[in-house]
């Protein structure tokens, strides 16, 4: 009886966590939300850098805002596309 208890404790659980990339399963909601937050943060950093660079090059405020908006959309879309190809989204 004691031997059966010891062998049952050593068995791996049936629902071991696995990465979504290796199994082809859909990622969890938490992984999806975090991937989207990372994409938006990358876009925000890119937009801030574009705004600072265009203002440093003496562009108007409206031109800098337009440039940073376009950069935000471009960087966010690119990061989201890469995440989709990697299977995170």
Question: What's the confidence (pLDDT) of residue 89?
Answer: 85
DSSP one-letter code for 59: -
Averages of pLDDT over each 10 residues, the chain, 89 residues? 55 53 76 94 96 95 95 96 91
d(CA 83, CA 76): 11
| Helix %, strand %, coil % of the chain (to 5) | 75, 0, 25
Contact between 49 and 72 under an 8 Å Cβ cutoff? The reply is no
Contact between 84 and 77 under an 8 Å Cβ cutoff? The reply is no
Question: What's the confidence (pLDDT) of residue 9?
Answer: 53
pTM above 0.85, yes or no: no
Name the residue ranges covered by the structural domains of the chain. Answer: 25-86
Question: What's the confidence (pLDDT) of residue 3?
Answer: 56
């Amino acid at each position: 009886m004691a031997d059966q208890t010891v062998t049952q404790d050593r068995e791996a659980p049936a629902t071991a966590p696995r990465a979504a990339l290796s199994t082809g399963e859909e990622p969890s909601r938490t992984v999806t939300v975090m991937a989207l937050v990372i994409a938006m943060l990358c876009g925000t950093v890119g937009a801030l850098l574009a705004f600072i660079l265009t203002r440093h090059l003496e562009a108007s405020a409206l031109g800098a805002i337009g440039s940073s908006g376009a950069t935000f959309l471009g960087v966010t879309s690119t990061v989201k596309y890469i995440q989709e190809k990697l299977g995170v989204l």
